[in-house]
Amino acid sequence: MLDTNRLRVFRAVVASGSVGAAATHLGYTPSAISQQIAALQRETGLTLFEKSGRGITATATGRVLAAESDELMGNLSRLSALVDDLRDGRSIGLSIGCFASAGQIWMPPVAKALREEFPDALVTFNLNELGEPSLGHRPEIDVRTEAIDGPVMTLPGHERHVLHEESYYLVMPRDHALSDREEIPLSSIAQEPWVDNDRSDSTCSKIVARACRAAGFSPRYVARCEDHYTAIAMVGAGVGVTVLPRLPLVRVTEDVTFARLVEPEPRRRIVAIVRDGVRSSPVAARALELLDHAAAQQHDTGRVRVGD
């Protein structure tokens, strides 16, 4: 078995770039760091560092070990936090991943209800739009999106919980020629100037691009943003129109309006990827109930109210 403290020191040296920097970050002496590295190399039988000028640099083998240990160290960190919670008599905490609009609309009332019902529990919320985390770093409940007509999201050691399905909408200035419509055929906005609101490789961007191809055109983008807040502000300023799912439009400024897109109708599904065994935690079980309630309230009223 590897000594996890030596592994932690080794990873700190790789990340910091030098023994001296790692010693400063960890509060050790440089000689203590060197001793830990030497012991780990003896323990593994691997050459993890090589001399580089007056310092050292990780070998290819060392870099592989550092990368492959991410999941292990993430699991150990969670286990350590669990031990602390149990020892101190606190309710077991919970980590929830989400995308930006879910974080803005759904998570605050969910957090408020959990705070009232489980005052000793620490609930951590993380944005998950920067890429797929490793299994060891994935939160207990990970709220993500997928295309209605695409492959469903599955993950070993996790269960899938569907929260909501929703349509996409044209967001336009209030004085736009189509602002009095409730539904707008997608082909009718082929010549409009568009404001992009997400990364090109995101689920939402792919859903919109596929629907536009089905309608026989490619959007004419005049501005690109990487978040819906900026894109909506651009629309309000008259730069162009943008296309967004319903959730980010629960709260919009008065200078824009929106209408549902049809023919074809782009849609997305919101799912929670839940780690096996998490439902046994009262905090996690209640969080899922609250998320279901938030999704149902949005579907019924366009607003979000979380409560009993």
> For the segment 257-267, what is each residue's pLDDT rounded down to a tens digit?
999 999 999 99
Q: Is 139 in a helix, a strand, or coil?
A: coil
Residue 73 clears pLDDT 50, i.e. is over it: yes
- Can you tell me the distance from the alpha carbon of 107 to that of 154, in angstroms, rounded to the nearest whole number? 23
- Can you tell me the distance from the alpha carbon of 157 to that of 253, in angstroms, rounded to the nearest whole number? 42
* Residue 209 dihedral angles phi and psi, to the nearest 5°: -60, -40
The pairs formed by 203-207 with CB atoms below 8 angstroms and a separation of 24 or more are: 203/144, 203/145, 203/146, 203/147, 203/268, 204/145, 204/244, 204/245, 204/268, 206/147, 207/147, 207/168, 207/266, 207/267, 207/268
Q: In this predicted structure, what is the pLDDT of residue 305?
A: 39
User: Which band of pLDDT confidence, cut at 50, 70 and 90, is reported for residue 302?
Assistant: very low
Residue 79 clears pLDDT 50, i.e. is over it: yes
- Can you tell me the distance from the alpha carbon of 59 to that of 163, in angstroms, rounded to the nearest whole number? 46
Q: In this predicted structure, what is the pLDDT of residue 108?
A: 94
Task: Please choose, from the candidates 101, 247, 243, the residue with its C-alpha nearest in 3D space to the C-alpha of residue 172.
Answer: 243
Average pLDDT over residues 64-75: 84
Structure confidence by residue, pLDDT tens digits, 283-299: 999 999 999 999 988 76
Residue 147 clears pLDDT 50, i.e. is over it: yes
Identify the weakest region by mean pLDDT among 87-96, 175-184, 193-202, 252-261: 87-96
Residue 10 clears pLDDT 90, i.e. is over it: yes
Q: In this predicted structure, what is the pLDDT of residue 250?
A: 86
Other C-beta atoms closer than 10 Å to the C-beta of 62 total: 24
Q: In this predicted structure, what is the pLDDT of residue 122?
A: 85
State both tokens at 38.
Answer: 């030497």
In the block, which residue shows the tokens 């000594």? 3
- Can you tell me the distance from the alpha carbon of 222 to that of 87, in angstroms, rounded to the nearest whole number? 57
Whether 126 and 139 have beta carbons less than 8 Å apart is answered as: yes
Residue 15 clears pLDDT 60, i.e. is over it: yes
CA 162 vs CA 31, 75, 153, 169, 269: distances in Å: 53, 26, 10, 21, 8
Whether 236 and 160 have beta carbons less than 8 Å apart is answered as: no
Residue 3 clears pLDDT 70, i.e. is over it: yes
Whether 18 and 55 have beta carbons less than 8 Å apart is answered as: yes
Higher pLDDT, 50 or 54: 50
Average pLDDT over residues 56-73: 89
State both tokens at 195.
Answer: 């404001």
Residue 9 CB burial class (10 angstroms; 0-12, 13-18, ≥19)? buried
